[in-house]
Each structure stands twice: as C-alpha cells, then as structure tokens.
C-alpha cells in the first residue's frame, strides 16, 4: 500500500469518530493479524487453522483407538515420562 493510500485510510478511520472501546478493538484486531502473519512466516508449529486443529484431534482419536498412545506410570513425574517415551 502506498503512503498516500495509508494516509487516506488513516483519515478515513479518524473520520469515523470511533469510541475508545472501538479503537481498542480495532487496534487489537490489527495486532492479532500482524502477530499471526509473523508466526506463519517463521513457521510457528503452534499456529494452525481451526480445520487443521480438528484434523489433528481426529488423528489422535484414531491412534488412541489403535492403542498407539502412552500413559504416565503411577508416581512418575513428567520428566521421567518424557525420558521414557522420547
């Protein structure tokens, strides 16, 4: 977007006379979008679409049904568990 277009957009937004609550909402949405784009560019494995999330849950259910899962043993702490299965 050119500088002129950005300035026109800013002028338009200012002309909307948004309430403080609306300005905060808009700022949060812009920040969220920017953070999501940065994470996607960096290949953040925790970022996924809703559809990707549901696919992963379904795959986990299938694996569980096939007995392909691990359980922590009684008295086992998380470090011991991760060392045992990792």
Q: What is the largest CA-CA distance in the chain?
A: 65
Could you list the pLDDT tens digit for every one of the 86 residues in the chain? Answer: 898 999 999 999 999 999 999 999 999 988 888 877 777 767 767 777 888 889 999 999 999 999 999 999 999 999 999 999 98
Q: Please give the Cα distance from 46 to 28 (Å, whole number).
A: 20
Q: What is the pTM of this model?
A: 0.42
Q: Distance (Å, rounded) from C-alpha 49 to C-alpha 55?
A: 10
72 CB-side CA count, 13 A: 9
Report the C-alpha gap between 60 and 83 in whole angstroms.
21
């Amino acid at each position: 977007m050119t500088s002129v277009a950005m300035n026109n957009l800013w002028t338009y937004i200012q002309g909307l006379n948004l309430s403080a609550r609306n300005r905060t909402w808009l700022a949060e949405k812009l920040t969220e979008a920017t953070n999501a784009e940065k994470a996607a560019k960096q290949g953040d494995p925790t970022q996924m679409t809703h559809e990707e999330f549901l696919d992963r849950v379904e795959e986990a259910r299938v694996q569980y049904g096939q007995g392909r899962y691990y359980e922590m043993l009684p008295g086992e702490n998380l470090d011991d568990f991760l060392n045992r299965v990792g």
